[in-house]
Structure 1
Amino acid sequence: MSASPHVRDKIDSSKIMMYVAIALLPASAFGIYNFGLQALAMLLTTTIAAVLVEFLYEKMMKKPVTVKDFSAVVTGLLLGLNMPPTAPLWMGALGSFFAIVVVKQLFGGLGQNFMNPALGARCFLVISFTGPMTRFIYDGVSGATPLQALKSGSIVDTTSMLIGKTAGTIGETSVIAILLGAIILIMLGIIDLRIPGTYILTTAIFVGIFGPVVNPEVSFFDPYYITAHLCGGGLMLGAWFMATDYVTSPITKKGQYIYGALLGILTGLFRLFGGSAEGVSYAIIISNLFVPLIERFTLPKPFGKGGE
């Protein structure tokens, strides 16, 4: 505790997490509309499992029970939105266990985790169960996601990607629904444009420059190609709801711009030059690891020190 004066705010961690959960409702509702009851079952499974695991772990470890802070709800909901609707429910429950116990609680709980718990769990599931985690069915037909089709050189419908009538994970398909949630967070002052704006802009620039390198049929800064990358996959969901996580993102303004640029570069590298069509999850958790270093070099100097 530092010396007074202290600045107090009416908003606390539980309210912030509650607002994030509310902002995720448009994407959740569209995911249920798009994929049906199997999507609802997955969202309920991951969310309930996350809350239950956190409650049981803290009880067993004789720690204060913190499920009322809504952080477990947000973690479970984000994990569910990052799951394919056809994945088995036990896989979602296992992911919630990994997110809460391995990524969050073993490192000290809320405020101490070194990476986003939901994305850490998603990467764990993708590595462990690649088949079910990368198989997508839309309207009863198994097929590639728009990003997979784009990587193979096929033409994709960017309008459908914007609306969300396409294959993908439960919460990543509709850009409109995600942006509605993002507007809620911005209006409530929970997030600002520094991280997501820099992330999206850097990705667009990277794809615009290096897109023709991997696809000769694409011109430099091809608007169609850039739009497809921005609307496809988990970029929008990751930029607005996971890259902005208070715990795993820089606290300094300069650091947030650097962090956003790093996210965009890594996402572009993974998508264009990697073996997979996606790359948002790995870009975010790798960038999470650089946050302490970014903060170290962007913290302002104390007044009167270093000739300032």
Structure 2
Amino acid sequence: MEDRLLVTASPHIRDHSTTRGLMGNVVIALLPAVLASALIFGARALLLVVVTTFACVAFEYIYERLLHKTNTVGDLSAVVTGIILALNMPVGMPVWIAVVGAFVAIVITKQLFGGLGYNFANPALVGRIVLFLGFTSRMTAYVYPDMAVDALASATPLASSVDRHAVSLLDMFLGLHGGMMGEVCVLAILLGFAYLVATKTIQATIPVTIVATVFILTTLNTGDPYVALIECMSGGLLFGSVFMATDYVTSPFTTKGKLYYGVFIGLITFLIRHFGSMNEGMSYAILLGNLMTPWFNAWGHQTPLGYKKPKKAKKAAEEGGKA
């Protein structure tokens, strides 16, 4: 008998994707951002990426070895966490602080909750937030490219003191301004995004919804689409939308859930940026979105074909009996 005639339990549609393969695609998608950070900020950017990646892999291996758990270093998830964490830091970050961030991401956020598939939030995201809260001055000590324009020499484009109309779209697109290593070059992020979508590693739903929400709300609030565009290209909005908000474990799996999730993150980011006490709010918005994911999945659950609510079904049965 042919396999297609067998009746089995769901899921009925399968593919040959593996965790290692998916994580490998993410690593490839991150390479443009790694290369761009090295070209913009210098060789030390590569050093930071190597240190955090090695630290994440080492912490995962040591933890699992000590607890006699199955070694999962080969699935490349720790490598992805290390690269993303490094790209969420300024290039001048001391190496020992980067290692602290790797420990928080792998041991505390990932392994203590059961490992890959059980973490409540994106490990690299939590690592970034902890470093920002514990080492604020270091995390905001941006190094600026020599070729950056004067208007960006004293503040990031999100700073309230910066005139958004004086900011060049080309400089924003190429990353010629200060900020976290992986967030400054829009071109590199878009190349990674295109690769992830083309290989079906992620869907475009979440990133597009987040960016569209921030753009629309900022335009309505400021009345200036140019300012909204600059804000969408600034800070961690694009990088977080593509590489952090789309994490399989901590993001919704239903289409409606993804839309709710994207709108929620975009809304929280907009509120923090415009009405909060900080210029950037993407990390906290994603963290809140991660915590809300079970509700988004429930609210976005698809209705089975032919399903009727109990009350309607009961009413239909009564009408059928009368007939």
TM-score by length of 1: 0.92
Residues 82 and 170 in structure 1, CA contact (< 8 A), matched pair in contact too: yes
Q: What is the CA-CA distance between 1:301 and the residue it aligns to? A: 4.0
Q: Distance in 1 between matches of 2:83 and 2:29?
A: 11
1:261-291 CA-to-partner distances (Å, cap 9, x unmatched) read 0011011011111111111111101111100
- Secondary structure class of the residue paired with 2:176: coil
* Alignment partner of 1:265 out of 264, 267, 270: 267
1:195-254 CA-to-partner distances (Å, cap 9, x unmatched) read 11111100001111123xxxxxxxx1x122011101111111011111111111001110
Which residue of structure 2 aligns with residue 291 of structure 1? 293
Q: Distance in 1 between matches of 2:141 and 2:168?
A: 20
Residues 137 and 143 in structure 1, CA contact (< 8 A), matched pair in contact too: no
1:102 matched to 2:108? The reply is yes
1:82-126 CA-to-partner distances (Å, cap 9, x unmatched) read 011001011111101100011111111111111111011000000
| Percent of aligned pairs with the same amino acid | 44
Residues 252 and 295 in structure 1, CA contact (< 8 A), matched pair in contact too: yes
1:158-196 CA-to-partner distances (Å, cap 9, x unmatched) read 220111111111100010110001100011011122111
Which residue of structure 1 aligns with residue 57 of structure 2? 51
Which residue of structure 2 aligns with residue 177 of structure 1? 188
Residues 136 and 143 in structure 1, CA contact (< 8 A), matched pair in contact too: no
Q: Distance in 1 between matches of 2:172 and 2:189?
A: 12
* Alignment partner of 2:283 out of 268, 281, 284: 281
Which structure has the larger Rg over C-alpha atoms? 2
Unmatched runs of 5 consecutive residues or more in structure 2: 1-7, 314-323
Which residue of structure 2 aligns with residue 190 of structure 1? 201
1:117 matched to 2:123? The reply is yes
Change (3 A) 1:48 1:224: same
Q: Distance in 2 between matches of 1:125 and 1:182?
A: 26
Q: What is the CA-CA distance between 1:38 and the residue it aligns to? A: 1.4
Residues 155 and 161 in structure 2, CA contact (< 8 A), matched pair in contact too: no
Q: Distance in 2 between matches of 1:174 and 1:198?
A: 20
TM-score by length of 2: 0.88
Residues 168 and 233 in structure 1, CA contact (< 8 A), matched pair in contact too: yes
1:38 matched to 2:49? The reply is no
Residues 42 and 92 in structure 1, CA contact (< 8 A), matched pair in contact too: yes
1:152 matched to 2:158? The reply is no
Change (3 A) 1:109 1:275: same
Q: Distance in 2 between matches of 1:250 and 1:139?
A: 38
Q: What is the CA-CA distance between 1:132 and the residue it aligns to? A: 0.3
Unmatched runs of 5 consecutive residues or more in structure 1: 212-219
Q: Distance in 1 between matches of 2:247 and 2:286?
A: 10
Q: What is the CA-CA distance between 1:296 and the residue it aligns to? A: 1.8
* 1:135 alignment partner AA: A
* 2:53 alignment partner AA: T
Q: Distance in 2 between matches of 1:5 and 1:289?
A: 26
Q: How does 1:128-143 map to 2 (within 5 A)?
A: 128-139=134-145, 143=154
How big is the alpha-carbon RMSD for the aligned residues of Structure 1 and Structure 2?
1.7
Residues 115 and 285 in structure 1, CA contact (< 8 A), matched pair in contact too: yes
Q: What is the CA-CA distance between 1:306 and the residue it aligns to? A: 2.4
Residues 174 and 185 in structure 2, CA contact (< 8 A), matched pair in contact too: yes
Q: How does 1:239-254 map to 2 (within 5 A)?
A: 239-254=241-256
With 273-282 and 4-13 compared, the bigger mean Cα shift is at 4-13
Q: Distance in 2 between matches of 1:258 and 1:297?
A: 9
- Secondary structure class of the residue paired with 2:231: helix
